[in-house]
Amino acid sequence: MALPSYATPIQRTYYYFYLFFCAVVFFFLIAPLFAIIPISFSVSPFMVFTEGMLAWPPDPEAWSLRWYKNMIGDCSADVVSSTVPCSTKWMVGTVNSFYIGIIATVIATALGTLAALGLSRPHMPYKGLIMAILISPMIVPLIITAAGMFFFYARINLVYTFTGVILAHVALATPFVVITVTATLVGFDMNMVKAAQSLGAKPMRTFFKVIMPLILPGIISGALFAFITSFDEVVIVMFMASIDQLTIPKQMWAGIRQEISPVILCMATCLVLLSIFLLTTVELLRRRSEKLRGIKPR
């Protein structure tokens, strides 16, 4: 990729401009995410860099953990501010988000893995059509899905219940599981199944002892995708959950709309850290899976 030694000055200029442009785009992609982190440690109740934060030498008065304390529901005197309400809502939301996310992930992973196993078999009839149906929740805009589900679930009394939200999230999350597990199964050597069976293993045993360990990285990545889908989802929750059934995204939505407070940034910082963690895990799993399947890194 380096410039050849015979490059003309114009080519050189062009090349450095190209690198500069790419650097700007990378900055554009990542800067907003990291800009919020320092602001979340501000003393000020507004979401801005205060002068004290930018001063040199750093002014310890300008930094504090008060909004983090607010977030975890600690409403002691040094935390409370006249413009920022303090409640346990964020913690209630966190518990609910994990509760919905984990249940939805378990169901979605089980259903999605089974389906991916079926879809990868050479004998699968109507593969294209079935794949299109299974992928569709990922494709249809969320607002349409939310409208349709709201009308339909209202008929069977599932709106304003956690059950309704979980069912909706499972439907939204399964395509991610199906796609990741199917991708893992592409390089899967079916002879290993035959070998296991010819040695006398029953189908269940074959699955748990031979197939599962090999595709486990794919299943875990799919599960993480499913979890983050449910964990981040706000449109369905807004329409299908009742007012006091809070989740983190719903609370953030309300926070942005009504009371712009730095507590949102504290939660956002936590979520950025969570996504860094998940991204690293998925990346490591992908490498492991490629190694297991004998695919050399490109």
Partner 1 sequence: MEVTISTAELLTTDGVPLKQSLRKAERRNKLRAFLLVFPLLFFIVVTFVMPIGDMLLRSIDDSQINSVFPNTFKEYKNWDKAADELPPEEVYKSLFFELANGDKRQIGKALTRMNYAKSGWKSLIKKTTREIKKIVKKGEEPVSYKETFIKINKFWGDPTYWYSFNQMVNDRSSIYYWNAVDRTYSEDGDVVLQDERRRMYIKTWFRTFKVSVYVTIFCLILGFPVAHLLANLPLRYSNLLMIFVLLPFWTSLLVRTTAWIVMLQQNGVINGILVWLGIVSDEGRLQMVYNETGTLIAMTQILLPFMILPLYSVMRVIPKSHMRAAQNLGAKPAMAFWRVYLPQTIPGISAGGLLVFVLAIGYFITPELVGGKDGKLIGSWIAYHLKTTLNWGLCAALGGILLGIMLILYWLYNKIVGIDNIKLG
Residue 80 CB, nearest approach to partner 1 (Å): 22
d(Cα 242, Cα 162) in Å, to the nearest integer?
A: 9
Which residue is listed with tokens 């045993």?
A: 205
Residue 105 CB, nearest approach to partner 1 (Å): 15
Is the Cβ of residue 76 or residue 127 nearer to partner 1 in the bound state?
A: 127
Residues near 38 by Cβ (< 8 Å), separated by ≥ 6? 49, 53
Q: Which amino acid is at 98?
A: F
Residue 285 CB, nearest approach to partner 1 (Å): 11
Q: Which amino acid is at 214?
A: L
Q: Are 182 and 221 in contact (CB under 8 A)?
A: no
Is the Cβ of residue 77 or residue 144 nearer to partner 1 in the bound state?
A: 144
d(Cα 40, Cα 51) in Å, to the nearest integer?
A: 15
Residue 21 CB, nearest approach to partner 1 (Å): 5
Q: Are 201 and 210 in contact (CB under 8 A)?
A: yes
Residue 235 CB, nearest approach to partner 1 (Å): 6
Residue 76 CB, nearest approach to partner 1 (Å): 26
Is the Cβ of residue 76 or residue 281 nearer to partner 1 in the bound state?
A: 281
Residue 221 CB, nearest approach to partner 1 (Å): 8
Q: Are 212 and 174 in contact (CB under 8 A)?
A: no
Is the Cβ of residue 86 or residue 237 nearer to partner 1 in the bound state?
A: 237
Q: Which amino acid is at 129?
A: L
Is the Cβ of residue 294 or residue 297 nearer to partner 1 in the bound state?
A: 297
d(Cα 160, Cα 79) in Å, to the nearest integer?
A: 33
How far apart, in Å, are the Cα atoms of 121 and each of 89, 127, 135, 141, 183? Answer: 47, 10, 18, 30, 13
Is the Cβ of residue 234 or residue 292 nearer to partner 1 in the bound state?
A: 234
d(Cα 172, Cα 100) in Å, to the nearest integer?
A: 13
Is the Cβ of residue 37 or residue 91 nearer to partner 1 in the bound state?
A: 37
Bridge partner list, 63: 42
